[in-house]
Amino acid sequence: MFREEFVILIKYSFPVFITHLLEYSLIVASVVSIGHVSTIALAAATLGSMTASVSGYSIMQGFSSALDTLLPAAWTSSQPKMVGLWSQRLFVVTTATIIPILMIWFNAESILLLLRQDPKVAHLAGVYLKWASLGLPAYTFNCISRRYFQSQGLFVVPTRIILAVSPINALLNYVLVWGPEPIRIGFIGAPIATAISFNLISILSVIYGIFYVEKTAWHPISRRSFTGLGLLVQLGLAGVGQTASEWWSWELIGCALGPATLAAQSVLLISSSWTYQAPFALAVATSVRIGNLLGEKRARHAGVSANTAVVLAVVIAVVWSTLFMSFRKSWAYIFNSDPEVVTLVASILPIVAVFQVFDGTNAVAGGILRARGKQSIGALLNLSAYYVIGIPFGIWLAFKRDMGLVGLWVGLTLALVYCSVWGTYLGITADWQKEVEKVLDRLAIESKNTHRVEEDEESRF
C-alpha cells in the first residue's frame, strides 16, 4: 500500500506543483519586474502584494478549501454530479465575499497611512491594489475551477492552461513595465499584467471544461445552486481561519521595519513561498487522494496515504534546505542588488532552511485535515501557534532584543514547529472508518434533498 500511495501521490503532486508554482509566478513576476526600478517601488509592490494576499487571495483560498473536503469524495461516490453542484454553490458564496474585499482595496492608501506606512510607499501600494482588483474575480473563479478539475483526477488540465498563460504574463510584465515608450506604463503595468493573466486562465478554464471534459461531474445550473450554502459557509470560514491566519502572519512580518527591510522581506517571502509550492502541491494531492478513497469506502488505504504523504514532505524539505544553504550569499541578487538587502537576506536564509522540514509537514497535515473536513481544528492550531506563540515571541526578539527581522522569523519558525508536530499527530492518528461514515452521511443528506426537489417539481408540473 505504501509503495502504491507513494507513486500515486508523486503522480498527482507533480502537475499540481507546476500549476501552483506558475500561478505564484504570475504575482512574483510583477514584484520582480518592479524590483529593479527602485527600492521604494519594490517596497510598494511588496506592500501591495501583501495587502492583496492578506485581505483577498488568502480569503478566497480559505473558502475554496471547503471543496477539498467535498469534491473528491463526491467524485468517487454514487453522486458525482455533486462535484458540479458544490462548485456552483461556492461560486455564489465567494461572489458575495468579493464586494467587501474590493472596498478595502480601493481604500488601501488611507488604511496603510493609518497603519503608519511611509506615505510614498502607501500611495504606490494603493495604486497597485486598484489595478490588481481587475483580476480578483478571475482569481476566485480559478481557485474553484482548479479544484473542480483536480477532484476528478484531471490534474494536468490546470497545468496545461497555466503553461499557456505564464509566458504571456512574463511578456506583459516586460512590455508594460520596461517596454517601448508608446506601450510602457511603468509601475502600474505589473498589476495590470497579472490581472490580465488571471482572466485569461478563467477564460481558458471555461473553454476547456465545456469542450474537452466529460460532463459526468457537471450539475445543471438551477435553484439548487443557490440553496444549501450553510455547509460551504461553515467549512469555508473554518478554511479561512486555517489558511488566512497562516498567510497573514507571514505577510505581515517585517512590514513596519522600513523600506530596506521590507525589500528583504519581499525576497525572503517570495523564496519561501516558492519552495512551499512543492509541499502545498503534495497537500492538495493528499486531500484529493484521501477524499477519493473515502468516497470509495477504502478507510485503511486512506490512512496509509496520509502517512506516506508525511514521509514525502520530509524528503522534499531536505532538498529545499540544501538549496538555500548552498546559495544563501548570492540568493538576493535575483531580486535586488542593494547591499543592505543582500546582507539581511543572507543572514536569515539559514533560518528559512531549518523550517523547511516543519513547513512541509505542516502543509501536508493541513491537507489531511481538509480532506477530513477538520478545517476548524487547523484554524485553532494556526491561530494559537502564530498569534499566541510565534508573533508575540518574534516581536519580543525583534524589538526588545534588537534582533530585527531575524527575530521575527525565529518567532514564526517556532510557531511552525508547534503546528507541524500537532497537525502531523492528528493526521496519522485519525479514525478513517469514522471518516468514511461521515462522507456517507453527508451524501445521504444531499440525496434526500435531491429527491425532495424532484418531487416538488413533479407536483408543480
Per-residue pLDDT of the chain (461 residues; tens, 9 = 90+): 899 999 999 999 999 999 888 887 787 777 777 766 667 777 788 788 888 888 899 899 999 999 999 999 999 988 899 999 999 999 999 999 999 999 999 999 899 888 888 888 889 899 999 999 999 999 999 999 999 999 999 999 999 999 999 999 989 988 888 777 778 788 888 889 999 999 999 999 999 999 999 999 999 988 888 988 888 999 999 988 887 777 777 666 655 566 677 778 778 877 887 888 899 999 999 999 999 999 999 999 999 999 999 999 999 999 999 988 888 888 878 776 778 888 888 888 899 888 888 999 999 999 999 999 998 998 899 889 988 998 899 889 888 888 878 888 898 889 989 999 999 999 889 999 999 999 888 888 877 766 665 555 555 54
Task: Give me the pLDDT at residue 447, please.
Answer: 73
Q: Find the radius of gyration of the CA atoms of the chain.
A: 22
Could you tell me if 237 and 93 are in contact, meaning their C-beta atoms sit under 8 angstroms apart? no
Outline where DSSP puts E strands in 318-419: none
Task: Give me the pLDDT at residue 208, please.
Answer: 93
- Rounded CA-CA distance 44/128 in Å is 8
- Rounded CA-CA distance 452/227 in Å is 13
Task: Give me the pLDDT at residue 454, please.
Answer: 53
Task: Give me the pLDDT at residue 361, please.
Answer: 93
- Rounded CA-CA distance 283/371 in Å is 10
Task: Give me the pLDDT at residue 134, please.
Answer: 95
What is the SS3 assignment for 157?
helix
The model's pTM is: 0.85
- Rounded CA-CA distance 84/96 in Å is 19
- Rounded CA-CA distance 13/162 in Å is 16
Instruction: Quickly list DSSP for 279-319.
Output: HHHHHHHHHHHHHHHHHTT-HHHHHHHHHHHHHHHHHHHHH
Q: Of 257, 243, 164, give the one whose Cα is nearest residue 208.
A: 164
Measured over the CA atoms of residue 202, residue 203, residue 206 and residue 211, the dihedral's sign is negative
Q: Of 66, 143, 162, give the one whose Cα is nearest residue 372.
A: 66
Task: Give me the pLDDT at residue 78, please.
Answer: 86
- Rounded CA-CA distance 357/315 in Å is 8
Q: Of 193, 46, 192, give the one whose Cα is nearest residue 112.
A: 46
Task: Give me the pLDDT at residue 457, please.
Answer: 52
**CA end-to-end distance (rounded Å), the chain:** 52
Residue 219 phi, psi dihedral angles, 5° rounding: -110, 130
Task: Tell me how many helices (H) and strands (E) the chain has.
Answer: 19, 0
Sequence letter at residue 110: S
Q: Which three cell numbers stand for residue 219?
A: 450539475
The upper half-sphere exposure of residue 394, i.e. CA atoms within 13 Å in the direction of its Cβ, equals 23
Measured over the CA atoms of residue 103, residue 104, residue 105 and residue 110, the dihedral's sign is positive
Task: Give me the pLDDT at residue 458, please.
Answer: 52
Task: Give me the pLDDT at residue 7, please.
Answer: 93
Task: Give me the pLDDT at residue 267, please.
Answer: 82
Task: Give me the pLDDT at residue 161, please.
Answer: 95
Task: Give me the pLDDT at residue 258, please.
Answer: 64
